[in-house]
Chains A and B, each alone.
Chain A
Amino acid sequence: DGGITQSPKYLFRKEGQNVTLSCEQNLNHDAMYWYRQDPGQGLRLIYYSQIVNDFQKGDIAEGYSVSREKKESFPLTVTSAQKNPTAFYLCASRDRGSSGANVLTFGAGSRLTVL
């Protein structure tokens, strides 16, 4: 069925390691987003991409990197430079063509724990 798939669901990382979280969508949406969800802080935007081969930093991009080589895929790399990477990461997409929609569809999330 159509939707957004995030993998892995749970990921453990040692300090100093880079990890990549996968986000794939088959909704044919143009725009994709990465949010970080922390208790008491809501969702904070890390990076977003409105079109293939283009992306912009969000509010908390430091220590993260992304790529958008295909419309369906928007992987997020959490680098060793990220000071506090333990969190729940949410990927979302949006159909820019839907008039007045601006509705985000979310994945199930990936929980990253740094040991």
Chain B
Amino acid sequence: AQRVTQPEKLLSVFKGAPVELKCNYSYSGSPELFWYVQYSRQRLQLLLRHISRESIKGFTADLNKGETSFHLKKPFAQEEDSAMYYCALKHDQGGKLIFGQGTELSVKP
């Protein structure tokens, strides 16, 4: 079965520290993975997707098929990065996304 696991419910770091939000997936085929972010009082929105191989707001995520991981990284966290982050995997059917449990990132001054 296709599944996404985010092991950390809460990640708290100080401003300027590196941050890594973990995401592991279960899928036997070629995965298509995403990171979505939900800032306080804002809509859930796409942060980045692995096929674009882009850096958004200083965040990057590399697909590691050997470890079945898609961890989100940023070298220097900012207070405005505080939000809820969801990792998502595209399901084979219907274009639907399977979401992980979410990780709340708190960046302290």
A-B CB contacts (within 8 Å), total count: 53
Given contacts A41-B101, A48-B94, A56-B94, contact A102 B32 (CB under 8 A): yes
Known contacts A100-B51, A103-B49; decide if A43 and B94 are in contact (CB<8 Å): no
The answer to whether A40 and B43 touch (CB under 8 A), given A31-B94, A56-B94, A94-B95, is no
Residues on B with C-beta less than 8 A from A31 are 94-95
Beta-carbon contact of A43 and B43 below 8 Å: no
Identify A45's interface contact among B90, B96, B100, B102, CB under 8 A: B96
User: What is the minimal beta-carbon distance from B92 to any residue of chain A, in angstroms?
Assistant: 12
Query: How many interface residues does chain B have, given as a range?
Result: 20 to 34
A40-B9 contact given A102-B32, A103-B46, A106-B44, CB 8 Å threshold: yes
- Asked if A42 and B101 make an inter-chain contact with CB atoms under 8 angstroms apart, the answer reads yes
Which of A41, A43, A50 lies at the interface centre, i.e. has the most chain B CB atoms within 10 A of its CB? A43
Q: Is residue B86 contacting chain A, with contact meaning CB distance below 8 A?
A: yes
Q: Mark A42-86, 1 if CB is under 8 A from B, else 0.
A: 111100101000001010000000000000000000000000000
Q: How far is the CA of A93 from the CA of B45 in the complex (A)?
A: 12
Q: Mark A16-45, 1 if CB is under 8 A from B, else 0.
A: 000000000000000101010000111111
Q: Is B43 a contact partner of A108 (Cβ separation < 8 A)?
A: yes
The complex places the Cα of A42 from the Cα of B34 at a distance, in Å, of 14
Asked if A13 is an interface residue, CB under 8 A from chain B, the answer is no
Q: B37-67, CB under 8 A of A: which get 1 and which 0?
A: 0000001111001010000000000000000
Instruction: Name B's A-contacting residues (CB within 8 A).
Output: 4, 6, 9, 32, 34, 36, 43-46, 49, 51, 86, 90, 93-102
5 A-B contacts, Cβ less than 8 Å apart? A40-B9, A42-B4, A42-B99, A43-B86, A104-B36
